[in-house]
């Protein structure tokens, strides 16, 4: 579990939880997911620019955005949409909407969520939390849904 707190020195607005370690245990013998097992949880491919970025630079960026992280094995943030390792069908739609770069909660949250890590993100209203969990969730769902049918 990782907790990402954005704007730790200000009043916090909203919280989102992204969890990939879901309970697929059937509650009844006729549950549709009875034989389902999760196949893939890690969809994050670290972009070469992120790999080259020193940890000190990532830490400095987090500090400049007032991001506090509690947890282990936290990937470096992706500072552009290209670094986010989103599939083309997601990336093209985001760019069509005119966004020029991810918000801080998206930059740090996407790598965690795409890796399939459980995460709590806390940040102000209007900071981009919905896309921070929704886009990785769509990728996870698209990859798993065929196994459930």
Helix axes of 129-148 and 88-96: crossing angle, nearest 10 degrees = 150
Query: Could you list the residue range(s) of the whole structural domain that residue 67 is in?
Result: 2-7+39-148
Say how many domains are in the chain: 1
Is the pLDDT score of 120 beyond 80?
Answer: yes
CB distance 109 to 75 below 8 Å: no
Is the pLDDT score of 8 beyond 50?
Answer: no
15 SS3 class: strand
Rounded CA gap, 97 and 81, in Å?
Answer: 13
Task: Tell me, yes or no, whether 32 lies in a domain.
Answer: no
Task: Tell me, yes or no, whether 30 lies in a domain.
Answer: no
pTM: 0.77
Token pair recorded at residue 70:
């509690």
Percent of the chain with pLDDT over 90: 36
- Per-residue confidence (pLDDT) for residue 24, from 0 to 100: 38
119 SS3 class: strand
Task: Tell me, yes or no, whether 13 lies in a domain.
Answer: no
Q: How long a stretch of residues is the chain? A: 149
Task: Tell me, yes or no, whether 60 lies in a domain.
Answer: yes
Of residues 47 and 15, which shows the higher confidence score?
A: 47
Q: Which of 148, 139, 142, 147 is nearest to 43 (CA)?
A: 139
Task: Tell me, yes or no, whether 48 lies in a domain.
Answer: yes
- Per-residue confidence (pLDDT) for residue 48, from 0 to 100: 97
Task: Tell me, yes or no, whether 18 lies in a domain.
Answer: no
Of residues 35 and 52, which shows the higher confidence score?
A: 52
- Per-residue confidence (pLDDT) for residue 75, from 0 to 100: 94
Task: Tell me, yes or no, whether 90 lies in a domain.
Answer: yes
- The enclosing H or E element of 5 equals strand 2-6
Rounded CA gap, 149 and 132, in Å?
Answer: 27
pLDDT band, very low/low/confident/very high, at 19 (cuts 50, 70, 90): low
pLDDT band, very low/low/confident/very high, at 27 (cuts 50, 70, 90): very low
Rounded CA gap, 31 and 4, in Å?
Answer: 35
Pairing of strands 67-70, 119-123: unpaired
Alpha carbon 83 to its chain centroid, in Å, reads: 13
Task: Tell me, yes or no, whether 34 lies in a domain.
Answer: no
- Check which CATH number belongs to the domain holding 51 and give it: 3.40.50.300
């Amino acid at each position: 579990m990782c907790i990402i707190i954005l704007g730790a020195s200000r009043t916090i607005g909203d919280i989102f939880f992204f969890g990939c370690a879901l309970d697929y245990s059937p509650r009844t013998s006729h549950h549709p997911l009875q034989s389902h097992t999760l196949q893939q949880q890690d969809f994050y491919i670290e972009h070469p620019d992120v790999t080259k970025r020193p940890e000190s630079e990532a830490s400095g960026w987090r500090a400049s955005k007032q991001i506090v992280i509690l947890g282990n094995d936290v990937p470096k943030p992706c500072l552009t949409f290209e670094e986010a390792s989103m599939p083309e069908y997601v990336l093209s739609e985001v760019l069509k909407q005119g966004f020029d770069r991810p918000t801080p909660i998206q930059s740090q949250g996407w790598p965690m969520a795409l890796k399939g890590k459980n995460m709590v993100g806390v940040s102000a209203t209007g900071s981009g939390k919905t896309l921070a969990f929704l886009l990785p969730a769509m990728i996870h769902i698209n990859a798993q849904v065929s196994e459930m049918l």
